[in-house]
Amino acid sequence: MNDLPTPSRVAAAIEALARLFGDRLLTSRPAREQHGSGESWLPATMPDAVVMAQTTEEVAAVLRICSQHSVPVIPFGAGSSIEGQIHAPHGGISLDLSAMNRILSVAADDMDCTVQCGVTRQQLNEDLRATGLFFPVDLGAYATLGGMAATRASGTTTVRYGSMRELVLGLTVVLPDGQTIRTGGRARKSSAGYDLTHLFIGSEGTLGVITELTLRLFGQPAARQSLMCSFPDLEAATQTVVAALQCGLGLNRIELADALQMTAINRYSKTDLPESPTLWVEVTGSDVAVPHDLGLFEDLARDGGAIRIERAEDTDAANRIWRIRHDALSPPAR
């Protein structure tokens, strides 16, 4: 890279940002360290400063100033990404979007909502509770919806609902020069124009900063039941899943951990589970369909050679077995 930010350019950008943001521009070492480390195992690499933005216009101002001074900008949601995405190897400005946390509209009849990028999936689902709707991407981390779109996140329910790629209908994005664009819309069947929305999903902040998202919502299923089953090998586990998908069972969540992961899970969660490939399965649907589909899944698992099947008899038991899966990486920080 031959256009690394020079100390004088960084200083000029920080001076211009300080005029606009006052005490929402942070240069203390703890703030910079926190914004340059995230959940990654890689050593922290700090930005030169952190800006706490509150509006799309402020994001545009930051990008305009930094582009004028050729200083890198690294958008920051909740900092939960695990592959070093928020690190600042060349310094620059960490653009903290966590204060952009307003739910702008919920259209219950149309089953969609528009939110600012710093809304977390937990906050959105809490807010939706009374409507009977929910947003399904469930990744076991405390993450913002902007960060989830930027990393094209998926989760345990992807088998049923898809990942962020399938669930984002439209975006407001600020481009690197400070220009603001809107992509997509609310219509489900529109094929008009370039599909810019999907260009930004998964671009990890390199093409622009997402400031607003329009998302699809779903109705809460009437019933749900979970089980966990262990298999002698990966082939048996995956063949069982293929058979279940081909039977059209109401599978809501499926997760697989291999033998090595199960050893780590036993050590971390103090469990005594077989250290062999294990599936977590949740079935959702009507009160009649769920026990039927879960029973069918158990039959398929037994036919596939399952060595242990644990059916969760109530919500507490289901939460316990899914907690074990979510803790396989590490428990959510907040």
Interaction site with ligand FAD (CB under 6 A): 38-39, 74-82, 85-86, 97, 117, 139-141, 143-144, 146-148, 150-151, 153-155, 204-205, 209-210, 329-330, 332
User: Which CB sits closer to ligand FAD, 123 or 266?
Assistant: 123
Q: How does strand 223-230 pair with strand 168-174?
A: unpaired
Q: How many CA atoms lie within 13 A of 256 on its CB side?
A: 14
Q: Smaller CB distance to ligand FAD: residue 66 or 97?
A: 97
Beta strands of the chain (E only): which ranges?
25-26, 49-52, 73-76, 93-96, 103-107, 112-116, 133-134, 168-174, 180-184, 209-216, 218-219, 223-230, 251-257, 278-285, 308-311
Beta bridge partners of 112: 107, 216
The least distance separating ligand FAD from the CB of residue 295, rounded to whole angstroms, comes to: 28
**In terms of CB distance, is 143 or 306 closer to ligand FAD?**
143
Q: What sign does the dihedral 175-180-186-188 (CA atoms) show?
A: negative
Q: How far is the CB of 38 from ligand FAD (least distance, A)?
A: 5
Point out the residue whose Cβ comes nearest to ligand FAD.
147
Compute the least distance from the CB of residue 282 to ligand FAD, in Å. Answer: 14
**Least distance (Å) between residue 141 CB and ligand FAD:** 3
Select 38 or 277, whichever has its Cβ closest to ligand FAD.
38
| Beta carbon nearer to ligand FAD, 150 or 294 | 150
Closest distance of CB 260 from ligand FAD, Å: 18
8 A C-beta contact, residue 252 and residue 221:
yes
Hey, what are 319's tokens? Answer: 């939460």
